[in-house]
Every structure is written in C-alpha cells, then in structure tokens.
Amino acid sequence: MQKVILIIGASAGMGKESAKKLIQQGHTVYAVSRRLELMQDLKALGGIPIQMDVTNEADIDKVVATIIKKEGKIDVLWNNAGYGLYGAVEDIPIDEARQQFEVNMFGLSSVTQKVIPYMRHAKSGTIINTSSMGGKMYTPMGAWYHASKHALEGWSDCLRLELKSFGINVVILEPGAIITEWAGIMADNVKKFSGNGAYKGPVNNLMAALKKNEGTGSAPAVIADAIHKIVNARRPKTRYRVGKWAKPMVWMRIYLGDRLFDKIVMNMVK
C-alpha cells in the first residue's frame, strides 16, 4: 500500500538511504533538510525534497501545509534530524546545550504536534522518532547529547500512550554504531569545546578510540531495512534496536549496574 511519508533529516546517512528505499517501493516521500542541495538525487528518483530548519516554526508550518494541500494526509512521520554535542559539561556553553535540545527534542516535538491532528482525524498513522542506543546508556563527554536522547525516549513513551486510542503508532528507533557523518560532527564538537585544558587527556583517549573504530559500524542500509519494516507493519514494535553494539550495550546498561557499566565504557576509550 502506497503511503505518504515525511522524513525530517533526509540529506545524508540513515535518512537518505531509507528515503531511497521507500521511493523505490512506490511510496510518496517528502524529504526534508536544511541542505536542499544534498537531496537532488532523491528528487531524481521521484522523491520530493523541501528545505526546512527543524528549529524554525514558520518552516515547519509551511512544509506540513504543503503536504496536506497536495496529498490530504501524512501516513508516516519520521523525525530523524539530530546531531551529537560532545564535550565536558564544564566546557560547553549553556546556549550550545539549549541548541542541542532545540534540534534533538523541541524541533522534533513541534513537527509532531503539527502532524498529529491530521493522523488523529484519519484514525491512523505512524510516528517514528530516532533516538539512539545512547538514549538508554551513556558515554564520556556526551552529557548533553545523551540527555536529549533520554528525554526523547520518555517523551515518546508518553506520546505512545496518548495516541494509542486514535490508531496512531509511536515507534522509537535506537540505532547503534552506524557509518554516517554523525561521528565526524561529534569529534569536531568535542575537540572544539574540550580539546585543550583540563579534559584534554580524556578527549585524546576518545579521539583515539574513534579512530580505531572508524568505518567499523553498520551500514545505513540496516536502518533502511528497519524503516521498511516499520512503515509496512500493521502493528510495529514500540522499539527497534538496530546496528552494531545497539543490543549488547543496552543489555549491559540494564543488567550490569552502574559501576560495572562505568568501567566497561571507560575501558573502551582508554
């Protein structure tokens, strides 16, 4: 069954790979990102790219109104925009921390609020929120990123309960280590804020660990496969943990306790 799908954050990595797969399957895919120039390949495949800043209310209103005017509905919303703000809590300016939440949490929430009435009227729909295995665990230098993803997990769980009676599914996607530009942005941030000074040693260890594991994550195709399953499922699971390390790391966090998990994580960045 052909569906109208809105993907927020479709210019690269997981979003772009999944958009390609969904377009090829015959779905109507609206691909949204700040970087319109990076989505022309999706347009060539039959997708509909639109420029939007997830922190700009006017942009969000325009995108949703455009889709509703043309299609009359939105069957699937995938909130996939986000980035990783890394650096020591002591070093990161609070304005930067606020921006992390504006993108990873509040922008996502605004898009969702504007789409819900149309799904509720249709008594159907699926909302997919990209969290992370980092929404269930933590790593050094990632306090603000993990805080945003932990918040998204709780927010999504509440949303699922609120929308269940209207026939709307809420799904949390928890990727593990995926080969995308995310790691490079994270590395740039941690070096920018904490590359010199009191936390230089831990940052150097983290950079060495990133370099050692560079290119060893899962390909974005594993996420595209998961999104395909979610979109086409009559009753999707509430969570999809996909990609390298996702399942074992979350399992360790849940069952091993704080001190042992702390030791494991710190050993990984020595």
Which of 18, 33, 110, 131 is the catalytic position? 131
11: annotated active-site residue? yes
What Rg do the C-alpha atoms of the chain give, in angstroms? 19
Q: How many CB atoms lie within 10 A of CB 193?
A: 21
Which of 3, 149, 199, 240 is the catalytic position? 149
Closest listed residue to residue 86, CA positions, set 36, 154, 155, 132: 132
DSSP-derived 3-state class of residue 203:
helix
149: annotated active-site residue? yes
Closest listed residue to residue 38, CA positions, set 27, 50, 26, 28: 50
In one letter, which amino acid is 88?
A
33: annotated active-site residue? no
| Cα gap 128→78, rounded to integer Å | 5
In one letter, which amino acid is 83?
Y
Closest listed residue to residue 228, CA positions, set 11, 12, 29, 8: 29
237: annotated active-site residue? no
Q: Find out whether 240 and 126 touch, Cβ atoms under 8 Å.
A: no
Q: Concatenated DSSP letters for 221-259?
A: HHHHHHHHHHHH-SS--SEEEESBTHHHHHHHHHHS-HH
Q: In the beta sheet, which residues pair with residue 15?
A: none
Which of 86, 118, 145, 199 is the catalytic position? 145
Closest listed residue to residue 128, CA positions, set 64, 78, 73: 78
> Phi, psi (5° rounding) for residue 11?
-85, -10
Per-residue tokens: 65:
């109104």
The catalytic residues are 11, 131, 145, 149
